[in-house]
Copies of this chain bind each other. A is one copy, B any other.
């Protein structure tokens, strides 16, 4: 594995982990009133496009980070849809 891939993967771990507290909080409290649909829509669109971009430039860190991100955002959308 090249050095730039390791840097990219650590970058992905940092920005992905930064998102974990929000997921845990929403999951535990089942409350997502503070999260707007516009925000979730921007995030899921962004993560999907980053994922496609990552595939097109063959960037493992961009692909992995945004797959996890997509999982997170889908979880938030599920909680918001289910519990409001």
Seen from chain A, the residues whose Cβ lies within 8 Å of a Cβ on chain B are 3-4, 7-8, 10-15, 17-18, 21, 36, 39, 42-43, 45-50, 52-53, 56-57, 59, 61-62
29 interchain pairs (CB within 8 A)?
A4-B53, A4-B57, A7-B49, A7-B52, A7-B53, A7-B56, A8-B50, A8-B57, A10-B49, A11-B46, A11-B47, A11-B48, A11-B49, A11-B50, A11-B53, A12-B46, A14-B42, A14-B43, A14-B46, A14-B49, A15-B47, A18-B39, A18-B46, A21-B36, A21-B39, A53-B61, A57-B57, A59-B59, A62-B62
Determine how close the nearest CB of chain B comes to the CB of A29; give it in whole angstroms.
14
Chain B CB count within 10 A is highest, among A4, A18, A36, A48, for A18
CB distance from A73 to the nearest CB of B (A): 10
